[in-house]
Structure 1
Amino acid sequence: MHYSISQVATMAGVSARTLRHYDEIGLLTPAAVSSNGYRWYGRSELRRLQRILLLRDLDVPLPQIDAVLAGDDDEASALRRHLTIVTAERDRLDRIAATITRTLDDLEGGDRLPDEEFFRGLDEGRSQLAATLEERFGNAAAGTVQTGTTHTARWTRDDYDQAAADGRELYARLSRARRSGVDPTSVRALDLIAEHHEAVRAVWPVDPAAYHALADLIETDPQQRDVVGAEDPDLPLWLATAVRAYAVRRLDHG
């Protein structure tokens, strides 16, 4: 049985545009294309799409997915490898979740998190950020995380706590501006974003291009979006727009 591109898109929870893109780059070729240009997919294409989406869920870049699938010798062994990857990722996220839980207990007056555990959690967070930057912007962008780590090498736990408190206070002011209807590209908003830019530079030496790119992470990266939108789910989009405007108007990006 063959399915149309719209049927496959509905079943897989992706857009038809995504499926057309996969076809254009040779990642997922339809079983047949009719004379009117309609794409049709069979069961083997659905299985391949499943593997593609599994790897995308693990944030594997599309070129690497193509290489992984090209090396698959049979479907069962490929799925076993995917299961190993998924299980390892689950375990990694469980470790990060446990660290966050212990940190919350510490902040809310429960058992104090040992300092070595506190900094281990920070290291895991940095590693995740570096991986995200490398995938989206290349090795040079990921290297800036290490430079930022050097900048904060002498920080104590109190320094990190103060930076976190300052960040929450800044996000609260940004949220109040957003809720009051301040245009994210206005002078008033950009004056506030100047504080955000300085706070970012204190821990991560971003240049204008990197700061502009940060807006994409604020909008789309779950970790960054959760931090920014912890108290105001609509703040990430507003802040991303303001960051882009600041990079262009105040930092002469582009």
Structure 2
Amino acid sequence: MWCSISKVATMSGVSARTLRHYDEIGLLSPGQVSVNGYRWYGRTELRRLQRILLLRDLDVPLPQIKAILSGEDDEIVALRRHSRFVSAERDRLDAIAVTISRTLDDLEGGRSLPDDEFFRGLQEGRAQLAATLQEKFGESATGVLPTVDVWPVHWSREDFDEAVSQGRNLYNRLSRARRADVDPTSSIALDIVEEHYEAVCATWPASPAAYHGLADLIESDPSQRAVVGVDDPDLPSWLAAAIRAYAVRRLEHRP
């Protein structure tokens, strides 16, 4: 029995766009494609999708899921590695939560929070994120982020607040483009993403390869997905596709 992509999307709760993305990255291809381009999925593909969704529920990154399902990675070893990542991520978020609490005390008049303490949790969080990136993607991944002391040295608290405000405005514009079904690889999307690239370069000198790698981080790291997708859960995947396209087309990155 063959199921259309729309039926699979309805049964699984995964959008047709996501299923097409899985096909594009070689994670889940349809069992058959008819002459008119319709995609059909059989029992084998449905079983594979079920396993993909189980691993996604555990927040295992798509590249690692692909390796597991291809037999290139031992599932137990992969899940243990992922468990270490989750534990490190929990510790990083705990450090940031402490900073948020301190900042709220400051804003509500509980006590005056010195600027160096304001950035302390951000420093700790950035250092922890670099460690988890190295665990997850290898040594080269740590180059995706600036050093932990970039913000405190060059930015005041007002600079940070302004950057956060500008970032939210940019994410809102990106979200509006996504909701309007703008192709993330189109010139319209890349013109907006150019502002994202410039904002990134304002805090660290991202090479074309590093900016391209940032797409994987936005898609797979829970905290980064939370930041980008706070108002639009579908934005991280859209933005990741746009970043990859921008790095290749505008920055001449060659993956």
- In the alignment, structure 1 residue 207 sits paired with structure 2 residue 207: yes
TM-superposed deviation, 1:157: 1.0
Q: Is this contact kept in 2: 1:148–1:203, CA < 8 A?
A: no
Separation (CA, whole Å) in 2 of partners of 1:23 and 1:170: 38
2:163 corresponds to 1:163: yes
Structure 1 position 180, deviation (Å): 1.9
Aligned equivalent of 1:56, options 82, 89, 113: 82
Q: Please give the TM-score of this superposition, normalised by the length of structure 1.
A: 0.63
8 Å CA contact 1:144–1:205 kept in 2: the answer is no
- State whether residues 211 and 243 of structure 1, in contact with CA within 8 Å, keep that contact through their aligned partners in structure 2: yes
C-alpha distance 23-196 of structure 1, shift in aligned 2 (>3 A): closer
1:43-91: per-residue Cα shift (whole Å, max 9, x none)? xxxxxx4x8635422229xxxxxxxxxxxxxxxxxxxxxxxxx6x9866
Amino acid aligned to 2:85: D
User: Residues of 2 paired with 1:187 and 1:19: CA distance?
Assistant: 30
Corresponding position of 1:196? 196
Q: What is the distance in 1 between the residues matched to 2:182 and 2:100?
A: 33
Give yes or no for contact 1:184–1:242 (8 Å, CA) kept in 2: yes
Distance 2:167 2:100 in 1: 18
**Which structure is richer in relative contact order (CA contacts within 8 A, separation 6 or more)?**
2
Q: Tell me the distance in 2 between the aligned counterparts of 1:239 and 1:92.
A: 24
Q: Secondary structure at the match of 1:153?
A: helix
Q: Which moved more, 1:92-101 or 1:124-133?
A: 92-101
1:118-161 per-position Cα deviation (integer Å, ceiling 9, x unaligned): 21111022112212332344334424635474476221111111
1:209-248 alignment, distance < 5 Å: 209-248=209-248
Contact kept, 8 Å, 2:99 with 2:122, in 1: the verdict is: no
Deviations 1:15-60 (A, max 9, x none): 9x969949956857xxxxxxxxxxxxxxxxxxxx4x8635422229
Unaligned runs of 5+ in 2: 1-46, 57-63
1:1-254 correspondence runs (5 A): 13-14=54-55, 21=68, 27=74, 49=76, 53-59=79-85, 93-103=93-103, 109=108, 111=110, 114=113, 115-143=115-143, 145-147=145-147, 149-150=149-150, 153-254=153-254
Q: TM-score, normalised by structure 2?
A: 0.63
User: Structure 1's 102 and 187: CA in aligned 2 closer, same or farther, altered over 3 A?
Assistant: same
Which ranges of structure 1 fall in alignment gaps of 5 or more residues? Answer: 1-5, 29-48, 61-85
Q: Give yes or no for contact 1:103–1:118 (8 Å, CA) kept in 2.
A: yes
Does structure 1 retain, via aligned residues, the 8 Å contact 2:123–2:149?
A: no
1:89–1:183 CA distance, 2 compared to 1 (3 A)? closer
Cα pair distance change 1:164/1:89, threshold 3 Å: closer
SS at match of 1:213: helix
- Is contact 2:217–2:224 with CA below 8 Å preserved after alignment? yes
**1:95 shift after superposition:** 3.6
Q: Is this contact kept in 2: 1:105–1:111, CA < 8 A?
A: yes
The DSSP-based 3-state class of the residue aligned with 2:153 is coil
Shift, 1:185, TM fit: 1.1
Q: What corresponds to 2:33 in structure 1?
A: none
Determine the C-alpha separation between the residues in 1 that align with 2:166 and 2:240: 19
* RMSD of aligned alpha carbons: 3.5
Corresponding residue for 1:66?
none
- Give the distance between the partners of 1:97 and 1:120, measured in 2 at CA: 11
